[in-house]
Each structure stands twice: as structure tokens, then as C-alpha cells.
């Protein structure tokens, strides 16, 4: 009886495919890598499958999509099997290209006018998902998250919502009312995508609220941006508000303070706290020096007592 001590490339490739079907990606990767070293496999998709396996644990890393795109461009196979799923090369390539753009945009920073530009780019990306993928289910979420509900159309609604939320952040400092309008549009897209839009509605409420500062009387719009609600003890005599624009919520132990007054009080409070901290630290160091001196004196007395025995 003859045993094969060394497996050929085709055998390694086939065993790698079986491990993928079992979901044992680590073992599958090892076998596929060894099969490539021996030119194994009935197709040239081992490198693509390795790239897919590497992507499986890093689906939020745009660089990994770039690697997979490169491997897809290098293979001549128009279709290939990954586990029990039959994948069309060009469809997966389009998905990876769009997902890579999505991750790079979402993970990028920005503020002010740069967020407006970012929002416009997200809108264009959303339309690309809709036009290039449409109702087709995305491969990567289905393969690795077992989620078959993500399609080009759901990504369209999701990205349009993110785009308007991004633009809202870009204008809220200068124009809270415009930011509230953008959040209203974003809420509509989220609701069309089966989401509640509750976070958008909360921001709309905050951005649309106008108050009069309790301290300086200045009118401000945009809670959490241009004014804050803070705890305060208000007596009934002081709670008599006849103005249309209020300085505190009705029946609430809070008052409204504009950003200027709030930051002035906060910075002064920080300065006072720092003074007390520095003073306490000085006293602790002085106490430490006194204790150290007393310890040294006691050690000296003990040494002299031992010498006099």
C-alpha cells in the first residue's frame, strides 16, 4: 500500500475549498497558500479567495478592499465559488470599489465647509450604489455577516441619510435652522430604509429651539450648540416669565445659558478649581516634607539609642 506523503497543488486547493465550506477560514487560507506555491487548482482564484478570507475579519478596513480589487483584476475567471456561494467577479469588484469609497469617506474627518463637500460626495456615492448595484444583494455582508438584507438600494437610503447628517454638522455652527432642515431630510431617508429616525428628530428639536439667556438676555437658537440647559435653583418669584422666548423650561429646575456666558462661567470655574488644586498640592508637599523630617529625626534617635547600649 502506497501513501502520498506530499500533496500536490490541486489536492491542496480542493481541501482549501472544503475548509471554506466549513467556515474554517484559517485552515482554508493555509491550504490555498500552499496550493499557490505548487501552482494548484483548476482555476486561478486562490489569491482572490485568500484576499476574501483576509477581508472577512477586517470588513471596515478600506485597504483590504483595495487588495481584493487588485486580485479580482488579476484573475481571468468571470465566476468562481466561495464556499456554497457562486460569485460573479465584476459584480464583486463594483461592490468592493463602492464600499472602499464609502469607508474612506465616512472615516475621514472634516469640519465646516469641508463637511458640506463630504456630504455631496456621499450623495454621489449613494446614487452610484443605486445605479450600479440596485436591488442586488451585496456579497460581503451576506458572506461574512449572514445579512442578505443589504442591497444597493438600502445603501442608497443609508448613505443619503449620512450625507445630510454630515451637511447638518457642517452648517449647525452658523445656521442651526438649516441644520434642522438637513436633519429632517436625513430622517426621511432613514424612515424609508426601515429605521426610526429618532436621533434625527431629537437633533431637529434641539437645533430648532430658541431661548433667552438667563444671565445676559441674549437670544440664541440651537440647544447644545449655541446655548445649554443647566441645573439651577429658581425661586417662584424669579420664575415669573412673561416673554415669548423663555429663559428656562416651564416647571423645570433648569435655566438656559448662552454659549458665551456658559463658557465664561466654565472657564472661571476651572481657574478657581485649579487654584484650589495647586494650593492643596503645595500643602500636601509641605506636609510630606514635615513627615519626612520627623521620620529622619526618629531614625536618628533610634540609632543613637542602639549605640549607647
User: Quick one: CA torsion of 176, 178, 180, 181, rounded to 10 degrees?
Assistant: 170
The crossing angle, in degrees rounded to 10, of helices 113-132 and 152-171 is 170
Q: Is residue 142 part of a domain?
A: no
Range of the domain at 32: 1-89
Q: Is residue 68 part of a domain?
A: yes
**Grid cell in block for residue 288:** 510630606
Identify the band that residue 252 occupies on the pLDDT scale cut at 50, 70 and 90. Answer: low
Q: Is residue 276 part of a domain?
A: no
Counting residues of the chain whose pLDDT is more than 70, the rounded percentage is 91
Residues contacting residue 180 through CB under 8 Å, at least 6 positions apart? 168, 203, 204, 207, 208
Q: What is the pLDDT of residue 241?
A: 61
Question: Whole-angstrom Cα distance, residue 259 to residue 273?
Answer: 20
Q: Is residue 126 part of a domain?
A: no
**Cell numbers 549607647 label which residue?**
308
Q: Is residue 39 part of a domain?
A: yes
Residue 64 Cα distances to 59, 71, 73, 137, 276, angstroms:
8, 11, 14, 20, 52
Residue 195: phi and psi, rounded to 5, are -100, 160
Average pLDDT score over residue span 16-24? 92
CB 172 within 8 A of CB 164: no
Residue 189 Cα distances to 29, 123, 155, angstroms:
40, 12, 11
Which tens digit of pLDDT belongs to each residue from 263-289?
Answer: 888 888 888 898 999 899 999 999 999
Counted domains in the chain:
1
CB 183 within 8 A of CB 164: yes
Which is nearest to 255 in space by CA: 242, 239, 278? 239
**pTM score of the predicted model:** 0.79
Q: Is residue 81 part of a domain?
A: yes
Which tens digit of pLDDT belongs to each residue from 166-184?
Answer: 999 999 999 999 999 999 9
Q: Is residue 103 part of a domain?
A: no
Q: Which helix (H) or strand (E) holds 198?
A: helix 198-208
Q: Is residue 141 part of a domain?
A: no
Question: Whole-angstrom Cα distance, residue 252 to residue 233?
Answer: 10
Average pLDDT score over residue span 201-230? 91
Amino acid at each position: 500500500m502506497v501513501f502520498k506523503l506530499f500533496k500536490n497543488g490541486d489536492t491542496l486547493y480542493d481541501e482549501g475549498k472544503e475548509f471554506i465550506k466549513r467556515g474554517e477560514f484559517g485552515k482554508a487560507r493555509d491550504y490555498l497558500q500552499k496550493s499557490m506555491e505548487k501552482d494548484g487548482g483548476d482555476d486561478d482564484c486562490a489569491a482572490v479567495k485568500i484576499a476574501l478570507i483576509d477581508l472577512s475579519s477586517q470588513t471596515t478596513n478600506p485597504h483590504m478592499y483595495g487588495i481584493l480589487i487588485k486580485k479580482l483584476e488579476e484573475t481571468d475567471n468571470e465566476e468562481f465559488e466561495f464556499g456554497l456561494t457562486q460569485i460573479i467577479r465584476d459584480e464583486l469588484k463594483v461592490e468592493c470599489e463602492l464600499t472602499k469609497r464609502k469607508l474612506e469617506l465616512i472615516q475621514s474627518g472634516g469640519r465646516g465647509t469641508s463637511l458640506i463637500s463630504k456630504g455631496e460626495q456621499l450623495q454621489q456615492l449613494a446614487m452610484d450604489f443605486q445605479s450600479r448595484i440596485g436591488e442586488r444583494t451585496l456579497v460581503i455582508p451576506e458572506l461574512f455577516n449572514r445579512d442578505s438584507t443589504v442591497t444597493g438600494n438600502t445603501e442608497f437610503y443609508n448613505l443619503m441619510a449620512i450625507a445630510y447628517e454630515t451637511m447638518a454638522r457642517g452648517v449647525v455652527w452658523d445656521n442651526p435652522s438649516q441644520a434642522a432642515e438637513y436633519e429632517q431630510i436625513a430622517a426621511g431617508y432613514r424612515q424609508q430604509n426601515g429605521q426610526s429616525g429618532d436621533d434625527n428628530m431629537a437633533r431637529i428639536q434641539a437645533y430648532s429651539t430658541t431661548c433667552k439667556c438667563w444671565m445676559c438676555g441674549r437670544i440664541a437658537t440651537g440647544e447644545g450648540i449655541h446655548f445649554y440647559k443647566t441645573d439651577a435653583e429658581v425661586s417662584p418669584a424669579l420664575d415669573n416669565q412673561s416673554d415669548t422666548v423663555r429663559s428656562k423650561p416651564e416647571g423645570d429646575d433648569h435655566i438656559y445659558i448662552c454659549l458665551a456666558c456658559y463658557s465664561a462661567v466654565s472657564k472661571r470655574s476651572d481657574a478657581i478649581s485649579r487654584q484650589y488644586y495647586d494650593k492643596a498640592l503645595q500643602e500636601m508637599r509641605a506636609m510630606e516634607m514635615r513627615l519626612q523630617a520627623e521620620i529622619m529625626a526618629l531614625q536618628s534617635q533610634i540609632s543613637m539609642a542602639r549605640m549607647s547600649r
